[in-house]
Amino acid sequence: MHELTQELDPGFRETAPISVAEIVAARMEAQETTHIQIASDMATEQTYGESWLVVTDKRVLIIRPAMLSAGAADEAVTDIVMDRIQEARTIELVGAVRLEIESDTAGSEARGIESISYSLSLAAKFSEAAGAIKDLSKGEAPTLPTQLERTRCEVCDRLLPEKDGFCPFCISKWDTIKRIAMFLATLKREAVFFVVVSLLMTVADLAPPVIVKYIIDDVLTPRPDNALELLNLFVAGLLIIRLLHYGLDLSSAVLRAKLSGVSSLEIRRQLYHALQFLPVRFYDKRQVGSLMSRFMNDADRLEMFLLFGLPFIFSNLLTLIGVLGLLLYWSWELTLYVLFPVPFIVVGGLFKFKTLNRLWTKFHAKMSRFHIHLNESISGIRIIKAFGQENREMAVFSRGNNELRDSLVTAERSWFIFSAILGFIMSFGIFLVWYFGGQKILDGSMKLGVLMLFVAYIWQLYRPLQFLSNVNNFLTRALAGAERIFEVIDARAEPFSAPGAVSIPTLKGRVVFRDVHFGYDPGKPVLKGVDLDVSPGEMIGLVGKSGVGKSTLINLICRFYDPDKGQVEIDGHDLQSVRLEDLRGQVGLVSQEPFLFSGTIVENIGYGKPDASFGDIVSAARAANAHEFIVTKPEGYDMLVGERGGRLSGGERQRISIARAILHDPRILILDEATSAVDTPTEKKLQEAIQRLIKGRTTFAIAHRLSTLRSAHRLVVIDEGKVAEVGTHEELMELEGIFHKLVTTQQETTAVMAVGGGRS
């Protein structure tokens, strides 16, 4: 095997047969630079196999080794000259993806299109390759990423449960346990006290068999003259130890509860903090149900592990060490018989740990999918009922519920079988102790008390061993949950505290786009070189068909995403160098579907300015034409709006949203289809409120009804990811270009709908 490497990005590193390497070497010219070399896992769209994509600055090679071995050398290699490439795009298929390269040569006799197929696990790599090919075909340097979404583990090459997630097979369990234990550091004094209590409890557990040994060997067997006094003394000692043990056990329970409660509080706090400060891209790749399961299931399992698992592991380890030391002290020969089953227990436990880890990780993945469906079905209950799909959703639920049950039963059954075998193996230790210990008593080399001590201690030895084996089942659940929690906590947050960030306490509002390229999927760019200069206080209307990039421009202004190429500037500063607090603290957003929190109207209006007075809130509501409907409510401003504002109409929610933006007093205002989902009378009220809101602010407005953008200083028409037309409403209508066509089409559609409505 000969390794082909990509110099710009080690994420593309793959291996290739020597024949592929020879083909690349034979085709390349002097001074030709190779940029990308990646192997596909599909030979055709229907069959798995290996194909290769090699991209240089002069050509694109598609190599299919299977055809080489079949003797079809002409069909095995496709050589596409870079200067003749017109387009490179990715096409999603059912269960696979295809990269298509279109050129003006007859690479394919029908359309000049060549393609290479691959599975979804390689989608990120080939999407980046498609973007790089387009750059190279234009004579530009390829913009390969420094970090790709990881879909496979870099160590074992298994598919990851989630993109950029962790590999449950390769992550260090010991590191995870140590990290869980670090949460106990918030209560150092209580943690130290717990260690001391655990040590005393271990001593209290080990002392009774020793006392019983002395009762048998020094009191009951020889029966000295003071036997009754000695018996009373030893029994009193047993009673005192037992009372002490109860007190220590109570103290341990109280400490465990406090330590686990505070630790769980800190875990949930860090998890929620991480979710608040993670970038929007993180949520693009995950569903709400999956994230909620981390709070509901994973955090609960981790709390139970802190409450029971970690303390019991510690106390059982202490007991194990203490018992083993005492057994060796009294008889090292008999101790060897006691330890006979131990290697089987330890080796079996370690082997079973891997199996259980795999089974419980699979269970967690199914649980996440189950929560995702549950969240969607409850949130979309109106749509389900409107289309009469209750039985269909019930069938989907039942299928997921059954899969969850099967996964749980498989994991539990695996453990129960192992536990039964473990108990059978441990019973051999008792047989051996009684047999060989009994022989020592018969030949007089051992006293009966020592044998009884061994019988008592053997269970104290096996109990920790059995617990440490039992904890496999408990531990793998907790660790799988902990790793999913730490995955979120460790994810890269937005750069709120970036060193050297420029502070702009007061924005003027000038926004400039300089040759901005961006795509949510690198292989499918949405913006393809946008240039736009917006002056402070100017209102810009963004116009264009659906999917051309209007909302994407807004997302870049809010810095929900960063451009792939080019710059977005604010007041002369690159947006990526400006403090996020300063930027978002002075940007207001009124979206098409306003989101209200399940509190009162006052709380929702004042959300962006928590210290606002009631008078300020009322003034904002008046400016948004919301005061008139608020005072008609029985509770007025103290009305609870319900989940997502469900107790209010769409127009009422929108006016509350506008009042919230007015009170926030942003320097840059974004109106994303703010009046598209309301009736005409409500739209009129909203337009009046918006006119008050936009005064003196840089405003970007997207509107479904193009006529509502007449008041904009300029209209910017976006088409195919670029700025196609710029001007006032009148200027663009006179131009009779894209905007004129959009307005004409909308007017014709409105007329047809009006006629249709009249006939009904």
* Residue 146: DSSP 8-state: S
Q: What is the DSSP letter of 569?
A: E
Contact residues for 757 (Cβ-Cβ < 8 A; gap 6+): none
Give percent of the chain with pLDDT exceeding 90.
2
* Cα-based distances in Å from 474 to 140, 195, 273, 467, 471: 56, 22, 27, 10, 5
Would you state the pLDDT for residue 148?
52
Alpha carbon distance 313, 704 (integer Å):
63
Contact yes or no for 542/716 (Cβ under 8 A): yes
**Quick one: pLDDT at residue 760?**
38
Instruction: Quote the Cα angle for 602-606-608, to 5°.
Output: 155
| Rounded CA separation 539/536 (Å) | 9
Asked if pLDDT for residue 445 goes beyond 70, the answer is: yes
Residue recorded with tokens 């989940």: 643
> What letter does residue 28 receive in the DSSP assignment?
P
Q: Is the pLDDT of residue 201 over 60?
A: yes
Query: Is the pLDDT score of 605 beyond 80?
Result: yes
DSSP annotation of 679 reads: -
User: Residue 660, Cβ neighbours under 10 Å: how many?
Assistant: 25
Distance in angstroms (rounded) separating the CA atoms of residues 76 and 26: 14
d(Cα 518, Cα 548) in Å, to the nearest integer? Answer: 12
4 has pLDDT over 60:
no
Distances (CA, A) of 754 to 318, 348, 744, 758: 83, 77, 15, 6
Q: What share of the chain is helix, strand, coil (3-state, %, to 5)?
A: 60, 15, 25
User: At the top level of CATH, which class does the domain 2-137 belong to?
Assistant: mainly beta
SS3 state of residue 567:
strand
Q: Which of 338, 552, 545 minimizes the C-alpha distance to 451?
A: 338
DSSP 227-250: HHHHHHHHHHHHHHHHHHHHHHHH
> What is the architecture, at CATH level 2, of domain 506-584+706-760?
3-Layer(aba) Sandwich (3.40)
State the pTM of this model.
0.64
Q: 349 falls in which pLDDT band (50, 70, 90)? A: low
The answer to whether residues 38 and 12 touch, using CB atoms and an 8 Å cutoff, is yes
Token pair in block for residue 629: 């409907």
Note whether 412 and 363 are within 8 A (CB).
no
Checking if the pLDDT of 419 tops 60, the result is yes
Under DSSP, the state recorded for 143 is -
- The torsion angle over the Cα atoms of residues 666, 667, 672 and 678, rounded to 10 degrees, is 50
In this prediction, residue 466 carries a pLDDT of: 63
User: For the residues 383-393, what does the mean pLDDT come to?
Assistant: 77
CA–CA dist 356, 358 (Å, integer): 5
- Listed by start position, the domains of the chain span 2-137, 174-490, 506-584+706-760
H or E element: which one contains 99? strand 97-103
Q: Which pLDDT does position 533 carry in this prediction?
A: 92
Residues 6+ apart with CB under 8 A from 205: 245, 319, 322, 460
Cα 741 from Cα 487, distance rounded (Å): 49
**DSSP calls for 149-204:** PP-B-TTT-PBPSSTT---TTTS-HHHHHHHHHHGGGGGHHHHHHHHHHHHHHHHH
Q: Name which CATH class applies to 174-490.
A: mainly alpha
Question: Is the pLDDT confidence value at 147 over 60?
Answer: no
Highest-confidence segment of 31-35, 461-465, 729-733: 729-733
174-490 and 2-137 share a CATH fold: no
> Residues 6 or more apart from 709 whose CB is under 8 A from it?
541, 543, 701, 703, 715, 729
Of 420-429, 586-595, 727-736, the one with minimum mean pLDDT is 420-429
Compute the Cα dihedral for 399, 405, 409, 411 and give only its sign: positive
Question: Would you say 132 and 55 are in contact if contact means Cβ atoms under 8 Å apart?
Answer: yes
Q: For 612-630, write each residue's pLDDT tens digit.
A: 888 888 888 888 788 888 8
- pLDDT of 509 reads 86
pLDDT at residue 19 tops 70? no
